[in-house]
Structure 1
């Protein structure tokens, strides 16, 4: 995930929740970061051209964080849109724990 190629809906890049999100990403180990990438984009690898080349269902689609949900909700992802719906958690600890649960306990699906 890359801060410079991210969009925000109802948040801005300096919003406390967004700063906490990037703090959590920095705290994640490499495997957790790959799981987060898989959770949000549907793939565990960065495009050859970098994050600016992330693709969605309709072509190029930047990573986006949207304000959504109640603080009791886990973050949810829309892989076709490279979008993470992130509730307005009241603390870094809550955000970190909920994000970790979402990326580690969520099963992915695929075609075999």
Structure 2
């Protein structure tokens, strides 16, 4: 869960005040999930400045979970969080 939160928000911990207190580029910014348009074989992506997760329409919940875990792993390895 901490790596997921790190992937989407840039921090591995929820603020003491809860998700409503997450900060973005210009102050408090809610956690958001957006549909990514384009090829359905793209890994999920995140915009930490906006606490935003983008993903395509996947064929199953299992595919979404697999690709999300892969994206989180790749991001943590690439940016030295692992």
- Short-chain TM bin: 0.7 to 0.9
Cα deviations by residue, 1:11-63 (Å, 9 ceiling, x for unpaired): xxxxxxxxxxxxxxxxxxxxxx1101000000111111111100100101000
Number of residues of Structure 1 aligned to a counterpart in Structure 2: 78
SS in 2 for 1:77: strand
Residue from 68, 74, 80 that aligns with 2:36: 68
Runs (4+) of structure 1 exceeding 3 A deviation are: none
Report whether the alignment pairs 1:89 with 2:58: yes
In the alignment, the residues of structure 2 paired with residue 61 and residue 109 of structure 1 have an alpha-carbon distance, to the nearest angstrom, of 25
Q: 1:39 to 1:91 in 2, by over 3 A?
A: same
Q: Report the TM-score, using the length of structure 1 for normalisation.
A: 0.65
Report whether the alignment pairs 1:52 with 2:38: no
Computed over aligned residues only, the root mean square deviation of the Cα atoms, in angstroms, reads: 1.5
SS in 1 for 2:41: coil
Q: Report the TM-score, using the length of structure 2 for normalisation.
A: 0.87
Q: How does 1:1-112 map to 2 (within 5 A)?
A: 33-69=1-37, 70-106=39-75, 107-108=78-79
Cα distance, 1:104 vs. partner? Answer: 1.3
Q: Structure 2: which 5+ residue stretches go unaligned?
A: none
